[in-house]
Amino acid sequence: MEGGWEQARHISRRVAHGAAGAGRATVRAGKATAGGTARAGRATAKGARKVGKATRRLTYAGGAGRTGLGRLIELSAGNSASDALVTVALASTVFFGVPVGEARGSVALYLVITMLPFGLLAPFVGPILDRFRSGRRYVMAGTLFGRGLLCFAMAAAVGPGDLPTLFIGALGVLVLSKAYNVSRAAIMPSVLPADITLVSANARVALFTLVSAGVAVPVGAGLTAWLGSAAILRVAMVAFLLLGVVAVRLPRHVDSPDTEEEGAAPRWRTLLKVGPAVAEAVWANVAVRVFSGFLLFFLLFLVQDKAVPWLAAAEPWAHDPFFDIPKTIALLAGAAGLGGLAGAAVANWTRNHAPQLIVLVTLAITAVTTVVSAVFFGVWTALLISLVAAFAQELGKLALDAIVQREIGEEVRSSTFGVVEAVLQLAWVFGGLVGLVLSLGRSSLAGLVTLSVVLTGALGWLLVARRKRVRATKADLRRRRAEAAAETTAEAAAAHSETAPYPEPDVQDEPPAKLDPTKPLTNPNG
C-alpha cells in the first residue's frame, strides 16, 4: 500500500515538474515572440524613418524647403493618397460590386451626375478662390476638412447600401479635390524657388502624387478586402482631417494680399479671354482628356464583356491562360500608372522648354498611337495605348499649368484654373460616356477608328489655327515696323529742317548803300 502511494506521489511530482517546465517553455516562447515582435517593430520604424528622411531630402531639394514648395509637395502627396483610398473603397461598392450590365448604368449615372455640377460650378469656383487670395491656406484646408466629413457620411452609407448618399458623397469629394488642385496650382508661383522652373516644380509635385497614389492603391485594396469599405473610408476621413491641419501650417507668403480696387467689377474668365497661347493649350488638353476618358471605359467594358481578341477566342483551348479578365485589367492599370510616371519624369526633364510645343506633341503622339492600335489591335497595343494615354494626359496637363502660371496674372489665376479644370473634367466625362456607349457594339475597331478621326481632326485644326495666328502676328509685326520706320524718317526730317541754319542772302550783285551825312549814324536800311 505504501509502495502504491509512493508511486502516486512520484508520478504527481513528475507531472507537476512537467507542467512547470511547459509553463516555463511557454513563458520563454512568449518572451521570444514579444522580443521578435518588438525587434520587427523597431526595424519597421527605423526603415520608415529612413524612408521619411530620404523623401524629405528629395522634396526639399533645390531650395524647396525654404520657400514652402517641399511642404506643398508633401501635402499634395498625402492628398493624392487619401483620394486613392476613397476611390478603392468606393470601387467595390459602386462599380465592381455589380454585374457588367448593371455597372454600365451605374457608371453612366455617376458620369452624368459628375458632369452637371461642374458645368454649374465652373463660373463660380475660380472667382470665389480669387476673392480669398489672402486666405488660400484656409481654402485648401477647407477642401480637405470637407472631404473628411463626406468620407464619414459615405462610411455610414456603405452598410445599408445607400447609393444616393454614396453618389452625392463621391461627387462632393471630386469637386473638392478639383478645388484643391485649383488652389495648389494658383499658389505654385508663390513657393517657386529661384533655381526651379514652373514645369519642373509641377512635375515634382506630380511625381510624388503619382507615387503616393500608386502605393495607396494596393494597400487600400488589401485593407478593403480585410476590413471592408467602411473602415477604409474612415481611415481616409482621419487622413483628410490631419492634412487639413498641415494645410493651415503652410508658410504665410502662400497667401497673397488682395490688390483689387474697391468697387471694381469682378473679372470672369472664359476660353475666349485667356489669350491664344492658353486657349490653344486648353483645346489640345481637351482632346487628350476626351481620348483618356473614352479609352478607360471603352477598354474596360470590352475586357469585361470578353470582346477583345485575346479573350474572345471561339474555342476554349485557344484562350491564353495568362491574360484573363482580372490580369488584363491589372496590366492595363499598371501601364496607365507607368505612363503617368513617365509623363511627369519627361516634364521634369524638359524643364521650361516650349510648353506650347509640348502640348501639340502630346496630341500628335496620341493620334498616331490610336491609328496604330486601330490597325493592329491586340493585347500589346492595348497596353501601349493605355500607357500613351496616361503619358499624354500627365505631360500635357503639366505643360498647360506652366503656360497658365506664366501667362495669367495672379489676380485672376484661380479663375482661369477653375475654368480649365472644369473644361477638362467635362471633356473626360464626355469621352467616358461616348466610350461607354460604343462599348455596347463590342467592336474595338469601330471605337478606335472613331477616336482616331477625332484626334486627327483636332490636331489638324489646332495646327491650321496656329499657322494662321503666326502669319497674322508676323504681318502685324511687319506693319508696325514699317509704320515705326516711316515715323522715324518723318521725325528725322522734321528735326533736320528745324535745326538747319538760315541761308545767307546773296548781296554780291547789289551796290553798297550810300550814307547821308546830314542824318545821324544809324542803320541805313531801317
Q: Could you write out the DSSP letters of every residue in 309-339?
A: TTT--SSGGGS-SS--HHHHHHHHHHHHHHH
From the list 69, 68, 48, 83, the residue with the least C-alpha distance to 243 is 83
φ and ψ at 116, to 5 degrees? -65, -50
Residue 137, pLDDT score:
84
Answer for the pair 333, 382: CB distance below 8 angstroms, yes or no: no
CA distance 146 to 169: 10
CA distance 359 to 487: 40
From residue 127, give the alpha-carbon distance in Å to each of 140, 297, 418: 15, 33, 8
Three-state secondary-structure class, residue 468 = helix
Residue 223, pLDDT score:
87
- Compute the CA torsion angle 305, 310, 313, 315 (nearest 10 deg): -120
Cell (9 digits) for 49 = 524613418
CA distance 403 to 425: 19
Residue 418, pLDDT score:
76
Residue 519, pLDDT score:
45
Number of helical H runs and strand E runs in the chain: 14, 0
Residue 317, pLDDT score:
45
Answer for the pair 284, 360: CB distance below 8 angstroms, yes or no: yes
Cell (9 digits) for 27 = 513563458
Cell (9 digits) for 324 = 484573363
Answer for the pair 316, 454: CB distance below 8 angstroms, yes or no: no
Answer for the pair 244, 145: CB distance below 8 angstroms, yes or no: yes
Residue 65, pLDDT score:
77
Cell (9 digits) for 184 = 495648389
Residue 199, pLDDT score:
77
- Compute the CA torsion angle 174, 176, 182, 184 (nearest 10 deg): -110
Answer for the pair 347, 387: CB distance below 8 angstroms, yes or no: no
From residue 67, give the alpha-carbon distance in Å to each of 139, 198, 251, 346: 20, 14, 8, 24
Cell (9 digits) for 303 = 475586357
CA distance 329 to 335: 10
Residue 520, pLDDT score:
44
Residue 461, pLDDT score:
92
The full DSSP string for 158-179 is HTTT-HHHHHHHHHHHHHHHHH
What angle is formed at CA 188 by the lines to CA 183 and CA 190, rounded to 5 degrees? 110
Answer for the pair 402, 352: CB distance below 8 angstroms, yes or no: yes
Answer for the pair 79, 144: CB distance below 8 angstroms, yes or no: yes
Answer for the pair 414, 370: CB distance below 8 angstroms, yes or no: no
SS3 annotation, 199-252:
HHHHHHHHHHHHHHHHHHHHHHHHHHHHHCHHHHHHHHHHHHHHHHHHHHCCCH
Q: Which residues contact 259 (CB under 8 A, 6 or more apart)?
A: 411
Residue 78, pLDDT score:
93
Answer for the pair 399, 325: CB distance below 8 angstroms, yes or no: no
> Which residue has 451605374 as its cell numbers?
106
Answer for the pair 459, 363: CB distance below 8 angstroms, yes or no: yes
Residue 245, pLDDT score:
93
Residue 525, pLDDT score:
41
From the list 319, 276, 234, 194, the residue with the least C-alpha distance to 465 is 276
Please give the distance of CA 68 from its chain centroid, rounded to a whole number: 19
> Which residue has 509623363 as its cell numbers?
343
Q: Which residue stretches of the chain have pLDDT < 70?
A: 1-52, 54, 92-104, 106, 110, 113-126, 129, 132-133, 256-273, 312-322, 351-353, 410, 496-526
DSSP state of 438: H
Q: What is the pTM of this model?
A: 0.72
Residue 75, pLDDT score:
92
Residue 6, pLDDT score:
61
φ and ψ at 509, to 5 degrees? -90, -5
Residue 252, pLDDT score:
83
Cell (9 digits) for 129 = 478662390
